[in-house]
Amino acid sequence: MWRTLPVVLLVGCATTSDLPKQPDAPTDGGIINTVSKQWDTADQKVAASISVARENATKPEVVKAETTVALSFLPAPTPEELALARQRATKADQKDYAQAEAFGKKLLATIDTNWAKVEADSVEAKRISGLKDARIAELTAEVERVKAEASKNIWTITGAALAVIGGLACAFASPRIGIPILLAGAFCGAIPFIIDSPYFGYIAGGTLLAVAGLGVYWLWDKVRDSVNANESDPK
């Protein structure tokens, strides 16, 4: 009766309608287990203190001390519940005590049932959350695949268009114009295969190094020619 349950509503990010609805429960099973163990510990300590107080009913100091320990694990009673208990104690009617005891047992059974449902919902929420995360990863991979496929298709279409243009140029203009266009089309069509090659990184890196080397050589050669020209100047 004195328990309260902090409920954290975690709504999973829906990816597709074919996934089941995620229960409104925490997905972290560790939190549920920790709270459950803490409540069990508090329950056992309260029950132990009250049991000892009953065993020592003839010792007021023990009863007072043990019930004080028990109360330390409980929230303060509301004025209404406190007045009801005092009224019951004043009447000291065994029928009232029997009804209160039956109500307490029924409420405790309801709390245990609801808590078991929270634990089960937490497990199910974690399972469905995992399914949604997996689905999101699957859809993300599919989007990346479609984007890569679209990029390949663009190069393929470009290569095919250049091949047609090159063929027309060879037929109606000159092979000197058409053949370079055909070669450019073949290169465009081969780009997706070049990029997908496991050696693409090495080839690209080697090409960049070669271009950089040629640039450095060109600059050095230009400077050298400039120096030689100044030395050979008859002035």
* The pLDDT value given to residue 98: 92
Mean pLDDT across the chain: 79
Write the CB contacts of 68 (distance below 8 Å, at least 6 apart in sequence). none
Q: Is residue 83 part of a domain?
A: yes
Q: Is residue 93 part of a domain?
A: yes
Q: What share of the chain is helix, strand, coil (3-state, %, to 5)?
A: 80, 0, 20
Q: Is residue 116 part of a domain?
A: yes
Write the CB contacts of 121 (distance below 8 Å, at least 6 apart in sequence). 23, 24, 25
CA distance 208 to 197: 17
Q: Band of the pLDDT at 116, cuts 50, 70, 90? A: confident
Beta strands per DSSP E along 114-157: none
* The pLDDT value given to residue 2: 36
Q: Number of structural domains, the chain? A: 1
Write the CB contacts of 124 (distance below 8 Å, at least 6 apart in sequence). 22, 23, 25
Q: Is residue 43 part of a domain?
A: yes
Q: Is residue 222 part of a domain?
A: no
The CB density around residue 27, as the number of other CB atoms within 10 Å, is 21
Q: Is residue 95 part of a domain?
A: yes
User: Residue 53's domain spans which residues?
Assistant: 29-123
pLDDT above 90 coverage of the chain, percent: 11
Between 48 and 124, residue with greater pLDDT: 48
Q: Are 70 and 51 in contact (CB under 8 A)?
A: no
Global pTM value: 0.46
Q: Band of the pLDDT at 6, cuts 50, 70, 90? A: very low
List the structure tokens of 81: 């519940």
* The pLDDT value given to residue 61: 93
What is the mean pLDDT of the segment spanning 134-160?
85
Q: Is residue 37 part of a domain?
A: yes
* The pLDDT value given to residue 196: 72
Between 211 and 99, residue with greater pLDDT: 99
Q: Is residue 99 part of a domain?
A: yes
